[in-house]
Structures are given as structure tokens and as C-alpha cells.
Structure 1
């Protein structure tokens, strides 16, 4: 389930991938993001150019 506006905000950014490890309650707070590519903090939130999909 996505909050209103979440799909638009994530579009073109690859989304979030995760794996459920156990049941429980989700909490908001600090998190650690690990990325295989360098990230530029100053560009966070910039719009990206969407490329045509190769899917039919």
C-alpha cells in the first residue's frame, strides 16, 4: 500500500526493494541507505528524465 503521492515521487527512481524478515510493527525514524552507485545529496528530490520503456 502506498500513501497518496508516493507512486509519483518514486517513479523513475527504481523504487524501494526490501525483504520481510519477520512480523512486527514499522516505525519511522533514522535509516541507513546503502547504494552500489555514488549518491549526490544535493541532487536528492530532483526530477529525473523518464526513458521509454522496453516493455510492450
Structure 2
């Protein structure tokens, strides 16, 4: 994809097989936080700042 950030929707098939349902151009970081308690925005900001400093 070449995207710095994206949202990947996963499904679970037979025998626990992980399947990619779709890839979105933007990640829903609020949903990620609500489900996992991980604030992805912190890491996204660090990544952007690193890219800008190059």
C-alpha cells in the first residue's frame, strides 16, 4: 500500500485463520483505543515528527 498509516479490518475464518477484509486509508484510532487501551496517536505523532526531521 505504501501508506504510513492505514486501518486494516480483520476477520477470523475457520480454525482461527486470520483474513484481511479490507484496508482503509485512515485508521480509526479511537476504536483501537476503546478496544485495547492503546493510544496509537502517540506513536503516529512520533512517526510524523521523525519523517519531518529527515
What TM bracket, shorter-length normalisation? Answer: under 0.3
TM-score normalised to structure 2 length: 0.23
TM-score normalised to structure 1 length: 0.22
**Greater strand share, 1 or 2?**
2
**Greater helix share, 1 or 2?**
2
Larger Rg belongs to: 1
